[in-house]
Chain A
Amino acid sequence: MTRFLHWVGVHALAIAAALFFVLPFVFIFLTALMSDQQALTRDLWPDSWHWENLRTVWETPGFLTWWKNTLLYAGLGTALTLLSSIPVAYALARFKFRGRNVALMLVIATMMLPAQVVIVPMYLFWAKQLHLSGTLWPLIIPMAFTDAFSVFLLRQFLLTIPKDYVDAAKVDGCGEFKALVRIVLPMAKPAIAAVALFQFFYCWNDYFGPQIYASENPAAWTLSYGLESFKGAHHTNWNLTMAATLLVMAPVIILFFFAQKAFIEGVTLTGVKG
């Protein structure tokens, strides 16, 4: 009997908590499908379902460009991050060299550093010397030179791979690089997937970077930056704004359902094995 009551109590609490997490999505969805007029009222439920709102948003000038830009930033950024961060993480996890601890602390320090700390000189560098403001390149190019969080996460994982595997490969005549590509990378797939996802979402969600470098040129805006200005252009229309919000959230949520394991493993890796 007490076990039954315990079961009821736990599940009642879980349902109450779930309401807090799920209801915002429900209200966003319901409002996104209201008519312009009804979205201005206190109504919670649409009188009629305006699915065409999603289409209106999709066809708003610029919206498609923001998608393309975001995909370019997130896709290229993620690929470059992986290419550059894997060898560095491997060296930090495996090689013995003087200054390794200092290097590791520098990685953690840059990981914890707010982007704003270095933004003024960085902006001047990209805008005045390389004339690349108004584009997303100042955000993408640095990823060819590693991302601290990715290096850290990969290193934490690589430490858990037994050294013997690499040593055995070397006995068989593999060089260090070949051993990394042939032996270590296949074993590190979960960590690589987690890093790729996190980096992709970092770029997808980034607001500050595009605000600094792309704001002057609407053709270079990303979804996160464009979404806010979308509210500006339609600032009485909560229905269209919420429809746009839905469309920006959707890919992240869809991807989650395909890659749940990698997400959860990534979060656990950052927190527990630190």
Chain B
Amino acid sequence: MTSLRQKHRRETLRTLAFLSPWLIGVSVFFLYPLVSTVYFSFMKYDGFRPPTWNGLQNWQYVFTSYPFFWPALRNTLWLVIVMVALRVLFGLGIGLLITKVKTGAGFFRTAFYLPYLAPPVAATMAFAFLLNPGTGPVNSILRSIGLPQPGWFNDPSWSKPALTMLALWGIGDLMVIFMASLLDVPKEQYEAASLDGAGAWQRFRFVTLPNISPIVLFAVVTGVIQTMQYYTQPLVAGKVASGVIGGAGQQFEPGYPDKSTLTLPQLVYHLGFQRFDTGGASVIALVLFALAMVFTAFLLRSMSERSAA
């Protein structure tokens, strides 16, 4: 009996030893700041003078008086519906295309994948240049073939479509994931469907789609979670397009043009680090946390369904 208990204790110690980096990390860099954020959300705190109790005033301020909150939430909804949907459709389309390409497959795969690797700041600055309304190559080409030239990042109704184009450019990760799952679809099922007289569309609808639907779900959910975190691209695009750019100390009214590129993560920075309103920033952080966790729960469910299947 004693030896069994000793063995058990040894195993527990071993587990703790292996897990120790993570146990420290998750406590110091996740649980502690999360609890602090809840605490700060009820405090008035500018980062300098000691925090004082503020009740629900930060919450009230963010939801009723802070002019950036609702536009940021609306933008997120737009991006989730349009950008995520287009990314999944386009990624699937490119994935399908690459599985059909016979000649030069290596070249095409590399061409489709490379933009995914471009650092977000560099990619966004490149797109701000490409889509520059006056002198950018895209509008130059549109002009030469007599098409209207949108204002892109300088026009509130075109800034989100411009961000969507940037996101579609970086589709490489989804392409690879879809490609791998498409190649996993059993060949016999296609053959059986062909024998039954199914055309190309019917084969896609009744063989391909059911086989890859778990991956589609995975791509949608991770896309939504990524959109919750969407920060660098809208911020840099707004800064470059507005001409207000530069390093430390430069004041930038986020969301240029007309709040159309605001996202929730930008508000944490705006309130916490530009306005020194720790309480308000904490409220935004908790809203962001709640949203991220709701969609993570969806993700976990879709993952457990897949491993059960």
Contact = CB atoms under 8 A, between A and B. Distances in A.
Interface stretch (B80-88, B126-134, B152-160, B190-198): B126-134
A49 interface: no
A contact patch SS: helix
Nearest to A84: B21
A64 interface: no
A146 B303 CA distance: 23
Contacts of A27: 129-130, 137
B71 interface: no
A42 B15 contact: no
A120 B268 contact: yes
Given A13-B97, A91-B18, A117-B37, A268 B285 contact: no
Given A14-B101, A95-B14, A245-B122, A145 B246 contact: no
Contacts of B98: 14
Contact of B245 (A87, A117, A231): A231
A62 to B, nearest CB: 10
B129 A242 contact: yes
Contacts of A123: 272-273
The bracket for how many chain A residues form the interface is 35 or more
Nearest to B228: A114
A171 interface: no
A118 B173 CA distance: 27
A67 B30 CA distance: 30
A144 interface: yes
Contacts of B201: none
Interface string A197-219: 00001001101100110011010
B56 interface: no
A44 B140 CA distance: 8
Contacts of B185: none
Contacts of B269: 116, 119, 208, 211-212
Nearest to A109: B296
A118 B126 contact: no
Interface stretch (A52-60, A161-169, A185-193, A233-241): A233-241
Contact of A249 (B11, B118, B169, B250): B118
Given A103-B19, A144-B21, A145-B25, A11 B243 contact: no
A95 B18 CA distance: 10
Contacts of B28: 142, 145
A84 B25 contact: yes
Nearest to B284: A116
A10 interface: yes
A218 B97 contact: no
Contacts of B129: 27-28, 31, 238, 241-242
Interface string B264-275: 110011001100
Nearest to A27: B137
Contacts of B286: 117
Interface string B10-47: 01101101110110111011101110110010000001
A228 B21 contact: no
Contacts of A144: 21
A129 B103 CA distance: 60
B206 interface: no
B121 interface: yes
B112 A21 contact: yes
A1 interface: no
A165 B306 CA distance: 27
A157 interface: no
A14 B103 CA distance: 10
B29 A145 contact: yes
A10 B97 contact: yes
19 contacts: A10-B100, A14-B97, A14-B98, A21-B114, A42-B134, A92-B19, A103-B19, A114-B228, A114-B288, A116-B268, A120-B40, A120-B272, A123-B273, A124-B36, A212-B273, A224-B121, A226-B247, A232-B247, A252-B118
The 7 A-B pairs with the shortest beta carbon distances in the complex, nearest first, are: A145-B25, A232-B246, A271-B177, A121-B36, A118-B33, A91-B18, A229-B247
Given A42-B143, A85-B22, A114-B289, 17 more contacts: A18-B107, A18-B108, A22-B111, A27-B130, A27-B137, A92-B19, A97-B15, A106-B26, A106-B30, A113-B292, A114-B229, A117-B292, A118-B29, A176-B14, A227-B122, A253-B117, A263-B113
